[in-house]
Amino acid sequence: MPDSIRMKVPRVALFADSYDQVNGAAMTLRRLVDYAEAHEFPFICFFDTEKKKETHRGSVIEFPVRHSFLSIDLDKGLNFDPLFLRHFRRVARELERFRPDLIHITGVNDISILGVLLSEKFDLPMMATWHTNVHEFGSRRLVKHLWFMPKRTRARIGEFVEKKIFDWAMLYHKIPQLTLAPNPEIVEQLEKRTGRAAGLMERGVDCEAFDTAFRNVDDGIFRFGYVGRLQAEKNVRLLAEVARGVPFELKDKVRFLIVGDGAELGFLRENIPNAELPGFLRGRDLAAAYANIDVFLFPSETDAFGNVVLEANASGVPAVVLDKGGPKFLVRHGVNGMVAHSFNEFVEHAIALLRSPSLVKEMKRRSREIAIERSWDQIFRGVYSAYEECLEIRRSSRARAAASGSVPAEIPRPTR
């Protein structure tokens, strides 16, 4: 790459709340780091991992920042460490060596909070990406633990908590100069509630890693499938309702392939007798699982995007989703899946597809075609454009402030 082009590429410090875990946010951030490495862009990523030493991969540095034994378990592989700020000086020294142009935070957990504080220390511009609907996630987790309360009381508490967490998240996102979110609804809310710039960051899919070619069953069995965490906020108990809705005469010809692990595993095992539950899968095993599914069921209302829907489509599998959250933006109703407006309609759509093999066959073809249109390179070119926009917002802000005499035009940056 010519030096004249390389000089224009910003030096980015990423604070990744989720990176080594098995979820859509972590997968997206790992791909962003891979993109920076492939294009020789200067990039440093701070994240929690079992690794004990930093790793240098060409232009990329992966810098592990370990959680303590007092960490609070939020989800499988995801923790909050109340002592995390003990890393402040160590990470600050690393930033001084790297000399970033901006900081990129990815959530509201301890690693991103450290990034916020360091952006203030060095007066660096900051961009955020919204990966998880924490307000819905937290609310549903809480309601599940209030099982002993009346249903109406639980619902009211859940609504109150969800609103308060969302209000707090919007307040938090007033700090970055720019936030990217995975669906238009969140982008609109961010612009309205924060008064800051916001943009769309969708996600791509690897159509070589997920492909119809990995299908290895031909036994005449129709398979409904699900891939993801088996937790309350994913509404996975709705899969059991679909199982109960299968007509009696078809029950011997239907299976459920449910890939993942979590607190709802026991319920699904007890309530879907014809379910295959292999746990978490990776690589070719995961690709084969997707390809062996005939209709993908994704009952979550809390996903900001829904990577698994794209992975299913890339595998030639149409999806049934709900009309809340990000997945509804991925499914063209009647083309590469169905969008349901209620739990009952979700079950009805699933059974309707079970009874319509010719429609499913056409949806499989269209699902693959639509997935091929999504390129990770295109997504990350957009992210780098957003980095430039973030820097320009800061420059314009500084120029206006300098013109008014309130701050100097240039702010000292970390030095080597």
Q: Which tens digits make up the pLDDT trace of 310-336?
A: 999 999 999 999 998 889 999 999 999
Lowest pLDDT segment from 32-36, 146-150, 261-265, 304-308: 146-150
- Answer yes or no: is pLDDT of 106 > 80: yes
Query: Confidence class of residue 5 from pLDDT cuts 50, 70 and 90?
Result: very low
Give strand pairing partners of 128.
105, 179
Q: Which of 260, 250, 241 is nearest to 222 (CA)?
A: 250
pLDDT (average), residues 205-210? 92
Q: Which of 339, 271, 352, 266 is nearest to 306 (CA)?
A: 339
pLDDT at 406: 61
pLDDT tens per residue across span 231-252: 888 999 999 999 999 999 999 9
pLDDT (average), residues 250-255? 95
* Residues whose CB is less than 8 angstroms from the CB of residue 106 and which lie 6 or more positions away in sequence, other chains included: 14, 15, 16, 17, 18, 25, 29, 112, 128, 129, 131
pLDDT (average), residues 194-199? 93
pLDDT tens per residue across span 52-75: 788 999 999 999 998 877 776 656
pLDDT at 398: 80
d(CA 372, CA 369): 5
Average pLDDT score, the chain: 88
- Answer yes or no: is pLDDT of 2 > 50: no
- Answer yes or no: is pLDDT of 127 > 50: yes
pLDDT at 269: 95
Query: Confidence class of residue 1 from pLDDT cuts 50, 70 and 90?
Result: very low
- Answer yes or no: is pLDDT of 198 > 70: yes
Tokens, residue 338:
């169905």
pLDDT at 77: 57
Query: Confidence class of residue 3 from pLDDT cuts 50, 70 and 90?
Result: very low
pLDDT (average), residues 304-313? 92
pLDDT (average), residues 81-94? 90
pLDDT at 348: 97
Residue type, 248: F
pLDDT tens per residue across span 277-303: 999 999 999 999 999 999 999 999 888
- Answer yes or no: is pLDDT of 364 > 90: yes
pLDDT (average), residues 196-214? 92
Whole-model pTM?
0.76
More confident position, 111 or 108: 111
pLDDT at 303: 86
Give strand pairing partners of 62.
45, 55
